[in-house]
Amino acid sequence: MSTIPIRVISLASRTDRRRQVAEQFARLGVAGYSFLDAVNGKEQPDHPLFAHYDPAARARRKGRGRDLKPSQLGCFASHYLLWQECAASGRPMVVVEDDALLQDNFPDLLIRASQLAERWPLIWLHGYDRSGRDPVMAVGRMGPFTLVRKLKRHSCTVAYLLSPAGAEALLAHCGSWVYPVDDTMIRFYEHGVESILLQPPCVAQDHDSPSDIRGAENRPMPWPDKIRREFYKACDEIRRVWHNLRFRLRFRRPVS
């Protein structure tokens, strides 16, 4: 089985979730994982990484009064720390959040993780598909898995495989934080890290476990903010469509 490190993001206080994750790894016969004490945005409001957050840029793009919450900043910082770790180590890494449900095919992923990371810098291991609204493009196969490229979006950061090159690209892009970490990672048309999904997924999200992360509040938005937000959304859509078109034109599917 792969010797790629598996890092589990978990608040130090969530011993219940850590126990559940450990039980899942034991059931699958997987070793070599370790926990990262997640950054607690509420208890660590002055964490040095929070200096990356740009509230003015956030307000321009999403409207005033819609700041990222402390829990969202803590989540971003936790993933950012692992990107730094991955880049510094020069080795691929599997990142898992503590609300992950590991599927029976998770060991199949670990066996092929090194090869997969050589092909693609970022591979989502958990599924996210809003029927008919999240188009994908097949880009290859490996063993029992099909690899598809997400053409629009992917939600949450439950589990992913990251290469050092992918980590370096994300770090270079994230000098300024404007969006939650999952929304940032899916902006492939900005940072160039293609969003690849493993099918069938080898991880699911435990939706029965209450999330420790709270999103921005949906307050009534003044019309100038709405106009500005829609302008930025239109710009993003144009860039995304153009990036996808260029990818289709130059992509050559590798031999499995």
72 found inside a domain = yes
Of all residues in the chain, the percent with pLDDT exceeding 90 is: 79
pLDDT number for residue 206: 87
Distance CA(153)–CA(91), nearest Å, equals 26
1 found inside a domain = no
36 found inside a domain = yes
Please report, for the domain that includes residue 144, its CATH number: 3.90.550
Residue 220 to residues 65, 66, 215, 224, 226: CA-CA distances in angstroms?
A: 10, 10, 16, 12, 10
pLDDT number for residue 89: 97
Q: What is the DSSP string of 43-111?
A: T-TT-GGGGGB-HHHHHHHH-TT-PPPHHHHHHHHHHHHHHHHHHHHTS-EEEEETTEEE-TTHHHHHH
Please give the tally of structural domains in the chain. Answer: 1
Distance CA(46)–CA(175), nearest Å, equals 17
189, 239 contact by CB (below 8 A): yes
pLDDT number for residue 254: 58
Residue 255 is given by DSSP the state: P
Residue 210 has pLDDT above 60, yes or no: no
Surface-to-core class of residue 29, CB atoms within 10 Å of its CB (0-12 exposed, 13-18 middle, 19+ buried) = exposed
71 found inside a domain = yes
- Domain coverage including residue 21: 6-250
Question: pLDDT of 48-79, one tens digit each?
Answer: 999 999 999 999 999 888 999 999 999 999 99
Nearest to 166 by CA among 107, 126, 108, 118: 118
Nearest to 150 by CA among 131, 174, 124, 113: 124
Question: pLDDT of 143-190, one tens digit each?
Answer: 999 999 999 888 899 999 999 999 999 999 999 999 999 999 999 999
Backbone phi and psi for residue 32, each to the nearest 5 degrees, phi listed first? 80, 15
pTM for the model stands at 0.91
129 found inside a domain = yes
Question: pLDDT of 92-106, one tens digit each?
Answer: 999 999 999 999 999
Q: In sequence order, what are the beta bridge partners of 43?
A: none
255 found inside a domain = no
**Higher pLDDT, residue 65 or 219:** 65
71, 138 contact by CB (below 8 A): no
